[in-house]
Amino acid sequence: MKDFLKIWYIAPQRLCNFHCSYCVSRGDYSKSNKINWKNPKDIEGFKKIVNWISKRPFKIGLRLGSLGEPFTSCDFLDQVAWLTNQKNIQFVELLTNGSLLKQGLQKLQKKGAKFEKLSLWVSYHPSQIALDRFIDNARFAQEIYKCFVVVNGIIFPNNIEYIKNLKKATDKYDLRFNLDLGYNPDIPSTCNNVFDIGKSIPILQHYPDLKSLISLGVNEKILQINITAMKKPKGQLCSAGQNYICITINGDVYPCSRYVVLKYNKLGNILKNANAIQFKSERWKQCIVKSGCCNKEDFLNLKLVEGYINKKTPSLGWHEK
């Protein structure tokens, strides 16, 4: 019997107040600057999946993503507040651009959220928000509401100076700092052959030696694993599907988001037959994907990271030992 399951659920909430050029919410699954839910079925399905998660007979660490900015949606925040009050939920981690945190956390308070279970992965988009305001909001969440906050930078060749300033500000105010590699959203992720890694990760054209990236704040061990997972995960032992699953906006359950894209080893669908989800029984299994395992939620399940991640950390992206 499993005692803990990590879930990355990407909900169909779409509204976002930003316009980032590198946004990966595209096509059918695009964010919107106008609407929160595409149709009533989306919100119904969202509530059903949230309910299914709350009924699992083991502890859950949930990264609750969406296609847009979660703090634009009262319906979304209702479910977040409710989830933090469920016994089996160890933490709910939201991914946010940080712009609406002050109002959003006050709304969650009125809805009865338990902030000790709330984690915030707050990504900095320098073309959309001033650094002072961004940092002020992240501090508000950490210092006033005592949320588990990670400030996340996404590095591209044209934002290196912004990232340096972000790191300085997080050091000054004692905020956790994570730096992820920015990806080219135009490289098709359905391709399962070896990627041109430089095209997929533009900063590598600028800093091919990796040492400079580490000096900017990218974690060395995670960087090595990120590149291994991106180039050639095939054959690596991975626990995705056993102690971690990915749930898509239409309720499909897969071992990881890379298997979602390639339609490998579907475990079931919560909206069609919630009782028939089949988890992988063995802890470690060899990955069958040739290339392109690029999401941290996924590749942090590789055996390569074992012993490096603190399992008690309330986040699917933070790697502090």
Which residues bind to ligand SF4, rule: CB under 6 A? 16, 18-20, 23, 25, 31, 68-69, 97, 125, 229, 233, 236, 238, 240, 255-256, 258-259, 287, 289, 293, 298-299, 301-302
What is the closest distance, in whole angstroms, from the C-beta atom of residue 192 to ligand SF4 in the complex? 10
Least distance (Å) from ligand SF4 to the CB of residue 233?
Answer: 4
Q: Are 67 and 25 in contact (CB under 8 A)?
A: yes
How far apart are alpha carbons 318 and 180 in whole angstroms? Answer: 11
Sequence-ordered list of residues with C-beta below 8 angstroms from that of 195, at least 6 positions apart, any chain: 187, 230, 231, 291, 292
Nearer Cβ to ligand SF4 (30/86): 30
CB 255, min distance to ligand SF4, A = 6
Which lies closer to ligand SF4 via its Cβ, residue 20 or residue 277?
20
Directed axis angle between helix 101-110 and helix 74-84, to 10°? 60
* Distance in Å, CB of 166 to ligand SF4, minimum: 15
Task: Kindly tell me which of 117 and 226 has the beta carbon lying closer to ligand SF4.
Answer: 226
Nearest to ligand SF4 of 97, 170 (CB atom): 97
Question: Closest CB to ligand SF4 among 299 and 318?
Answer: 299
Q: For ligand SF4, which is the closer residue by CB, 117 or 258?
A: 258
CB of 136 to ligand SF4, least distance (A): 18
DSSP class per residue in 246-288: EE-TTSEEESSHHHHHHT-S--EETTT-GGG----SSS-EE--
Type of residue at 4: F
Cα torsion 74, 79, 84, 85 to 10°: value is 110
Whether the CB-CB separation of 123 and 152 falls below 8 Å is answered with: yes
Q: How far is the CB of 201 from ligand SF4 (least distance, A)?
A: 16
- Closest CA relative to residue 98, chosen from 197, 170, 201: 170
Answer for the pair 238, 301: CB distance below 8 angstroms, yes or no.
yes
